[in-house]
Amino acid sequence: ARPRVVVIGGGSGGGTVARYIAKDSDGAVDVTLIEPTKRYYTCYFSNLYLGGFWGYDALGHGYEGIAAAGVNVVHDWAIGVDRDARTVTLASGASVPYDKLVVAPGIDFVDNAVPGWDVTKQSLMPHAYKSGTQVQLLKNQIENMRDGGTFCMVAPPNPYRCPPGPGERVSMVAHMLSESNPTAKILVVDPKENFSKQALFEEGWAKHYPGMVTRIGPDFGGANVEVRPDAMEVVIDGQVEKVDVCNVIPAQKAGKIAELAGLTNDAGWAPVTPSDMRSTMDENVFVLGDAAQQGAMPKSGFSANSQAKVVANVVRGELTGSRIFPARYSNTCWSLIATDDGVKVGASYEAGENQIESVSSFISQTGEEADLRRQTYEESIGWYNGIVADIFG
Ligand code: FAD
């Protein structure tokens, strides 16, 4: 019988690894992908959708290409993993056996991370931080906000998916409001001392959206926040603020199934070996993407895709005897600040002794020429088209 690989989660990491193992092994490996949704909406470029630069439909991708590569795509939830018997239990009751398991469920939110908020309040105060319709709801709320109203973002503590994501979102909301509701205000409540691409975003906000964005960092109570979704109130260090739209991005942890499978540590993430993303808890299990605790790589779609290619190479090698290459990883995160004003940060990585380490990095500079910024934005569109083709075929 063919060796069996089961992949849990058909997002940036899981979709890539499933397709690559099936395609590169020419059918020698039996690959099953478990993913509940029939269409994956990328979080990347969802901020551009908020800003009015990208359509919602353009974020959506189906699984036909992955199936065409020979992957058995099962639309269901994995609800348990028996690592001794090497089986995955699905919500339907089915049990799927594996020789190697890849776990790539992305993130879940830490319970009670923002007092007053839990997922039952996500219609009143959307997170819009996972694939799916939340971002449509958030856009709708912002579009319908009263003139001169306040959009509040409760930003997450580290580590969380897409370090520049909240800053880009603030930029895109500001862009949209500066056109449709120019007296509106943006209030960012942030528990972090510093944030990704801070100098670039702050320069951009001052230039394109003067006076619109106020950020409350930890020195002013940004780490001491509670929300009251029914009253649309945000309590910052005891001070009550009435807001009109509130985007709560809570603290994060590995997707629940990683915890149910016994793959997570006290921090809530799944530790892995830096050379191959193998779980430190089980040699037959790999964890990749946002759920993994691997070291220096940011939690991004680019990272997940890059890690997935390393895992595909290792899993195929172990199951079929094909050659295994030393791991090399890379990442770039682009962000759009305003029309044609794109910036980026990135690095390449190698396996250190205990964790993945950055070997070289780059970041856009403040004060760059408009031409360079436009080129950077255009580069990001090329990246988007390339990565979704690489994941979904
Ligand atoms: P995901 O892509 O989230 O995929 C996980 C999949 O697992 C989901 O499809 C889910 O349905 C499935 N799943 C979960 N639990 C189960 C289960 N029990 N059984 C079966 N399936 C399950 N990254 C970039 O590289 N560039 C960007 O510009 C960028 N911008 C972003 C902007 C925003 C606003 C946000 C929120 C994120 C952004 N990211 C960006 C980050 C990127 O979306 C994530 O890092 C990436 O999707 C992680 O991939 P993943 O495979 O780990 O998880």
Say which DSSP state 279 is in: B
Residue 259, ligand 1, Cβ within 6 A: no
Nearest to 46 by CA among 104, 133, 125, 174: 133
User: What confidence score (pLDDT) does residue 230 get?
Assistant: 98
Q: Which two tokens stand for residue 324?
A: 């295994």
User: What confidence score (pLDDT) does residue 32 get?
Assistant: 98
User: What confidence score (pLDDT) does residue 47 get?
Assistant: 98
DSSP β-bridge partners for residue 348: 330, 360
User: What confidence score (pLDDT) does residue 10 get?
Assistant: 98
User: What confidence score (pLDDT) does residue 118 get?
Assistant: 97
Residue 300, ligand 1, Cβ within 6 A: yes
Reported as a single tens digit per residue, the pLDDT across 241-285 is 999 999 999 999 999 999 999 999 999 999 999 999 999 999 999
Atom 25 of ligand 1: nearest residue by CA position:
301
Atom 49 of ligand 1: nearest residue by CA position:
12
Ligand 1 centroid – CA 14 distance (Å) = 9
CB atoms under 10 Å from CB of 82, counted, come to: 12
Q: What does the alpha-carbon distance between residue 188 and residue 65 come to, in Å, rounded to a whole number?
A: 40
The number of the ligand 1 atom at minimal distance from the alpha carbon of 129 is 36
pLDDT < 70: residue spans in the chain: none
Ligand 1 centroid – CA 129 distance (Å) = 9
Reported as a single tens digit per residue, the pLDDT across 78-134 is 999 999 999 999 999 999 999 999 999 999 999 999 999 999 999 999 999 999 899
Tally of residues, the chain: 393
Say which DSSP state 121 is in: G
User: What confidence score (pLDDT) does residue 355 get?
Assistant: 97
Residue 301, ligand 1, Cβ within 6 A: yes
Q: Look up the ipTM and state it.
A: 0.99
Average pLDDT, the chain: 98
Q: Which two tokens stand for residue 150?
A: 């306040």
* Ligand 1 mutation pick, 8, 17, 44, max ligand atoms within 8 A of CB: 44
The contacts of residue 278 (CB under 8 Å, 6+ apart) are 272, 285, 286, 314
Cα 293 to Cα 89, 104, 234, 280, 311: the distances in Å are 24, 12, 32, 10, 15
Atom 41 of ligand 1: nearest residue by CA position:
300
**pTM value?**
0.98
Q: What does the alpha-carbon distance between residue 351 and residue 379 come to, in Å, rounded to a whole number?
A: 28
Residue 167, ligand 1, Cβ within 6 A: no
The number of the ligand 1 atom at minimal distance from the alpha carbon of 387 is 25
User: What confidence score (pLDDT) does residue 77 get?
Assistant: 98
Q: What does the alpha-carbon distance between residue 344 and residue 166 come to, in Å, rounded to a whole number?
A: 14
